[in-house]
C-alpha cells in the first residue's frame, strides 16, 4: 500500500478491524518513511452478470425490492424479507466467487421463498421463470404440492 502523503510503498498495518457485516476490513496503517498514519478500507466486490451480458455490483436492495413485490398483501413481515435477502447474499458469498449470474441469484431466492409463502413464491417464480400461460402456473403449483 502506497502512503498517500509521501507516496512511499513501505507501509505497515497497525490495526485491523472487520466492519459492515464482515464484507469489509478497515486497516490502520503507518508509513515507514514519513511515519504518518492513515486508514484504508478493503471490501470484497461481487459482480452480477445480467442476461444482456453486462456486469453490475451486487445489490441486496434489489432482492428486497423483488421480494416485497412478490409478498405484497401476504402475511409476510419486513423482517422475513430481509432475512431471506441476507440468507441469499450469505449463500452466494460463501461460494467464494467474484461473479454470479442473475439466474443464480433468482434460484437462490426461490427455495427460501417457497418455504415462507406459497403465493409469494408463485408470484416471484412467474416473473422469474417468465410464465406465459395458465399451464405454467398449474405446473408450478403442482410442484409446490409435491414438495411439501
pLDDT in tens, 4-61: 999 999 999 999 998 866 678 999 999 999 999 999 998 888 899 998 999 999 999 9
* 145 confidence band (pLDDT: 50, 70, 90): confident
Q: What pLDDT is recorded for position 118?
A: 93
Q: What pLDDT is recorded for position 21?
A: 66
Q: Residue 117 above 80 pLDDT?
A: yes
Calpha distance 79→20 (Å, rounded)? 19
Report pLDDT digits (tens) over 51-76: 899 999 999 999 999 999 999 999 99
* Cα-Cα-Cα-Cα dihedral sign, residues 126, 132, 133, 136: negative
Tell me if 44 sits within 8 A of 90, measured CB to CB. no
Cβ contacts of 58 within 8 Å, gap of 6 or more:
45, 46, 47, 48, 89, 92, 100
Interior CA angle at 58 toward 57 and 64, to 5°? Answer: 140
Interior CA angle at 111 toward 137 and 71, to 5°? Answer: 65
- Strands of the chain (E only): list them: 11-19, 24-31, 37-43, 47-49, 55-57, 99-101
Question: What nine digits make up the cell of 36?
Answer: 504518518
Q: Residue 147 above 80 pLDDT?
A: no
Residue spans per domain, the chain: 11-43, 47-147
Q: What pLDDT is recorded for position 148?
A: 64
Q: Give the residue from 39, 1, 42 showing the smallest Cα distance to 18.
A: 42
Calpha distance 6→71 (Å, rounded)? 54
Amino acid at each position: 500500500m502506497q502512503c498517500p502523503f509521501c507516496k512511499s510503498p513501505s507501509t505497515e498495518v497497525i490495526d485491523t478491524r472487520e466492519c459492515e457485516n464482515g464484507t469489509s476490513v478497515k486497516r490502520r496503517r503507518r508509513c515507514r518513511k514519513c511515519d504518518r498514519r492513515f486508514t484504508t478500507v478493503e471490501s470484497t466486490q461481487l459482480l452480477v452478470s445480467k442476461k444482456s451480458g453486462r456486469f453490475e455490483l451486487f445489490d441486496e436492495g434489489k432482492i428486497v425490492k423483488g421480494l416485497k413485490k412478490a409478498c405484497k398483501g401476504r402475511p409476510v413481515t419486513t423482517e422475513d424479507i430481509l432475512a431471506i435477502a441476507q440468507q441469499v447474499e450469505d449463500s452466494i458469498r460463501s461460494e467464494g466467487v467474484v461473479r454470479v449470474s442473475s439466474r443464480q441469484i433468482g434460484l437462490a431466492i426461490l427455495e427460501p421463498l417457497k418455504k415462507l409463502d406459497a403465493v409469494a413464491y408463485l408470484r416471484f417464480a412467474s416473473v422469474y421463470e417468465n410464465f406465459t400461460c395458465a399451464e405454467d402456473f398449474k405446473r408450478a403449483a403442482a410442484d409446490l404440492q409435491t414438495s411439501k
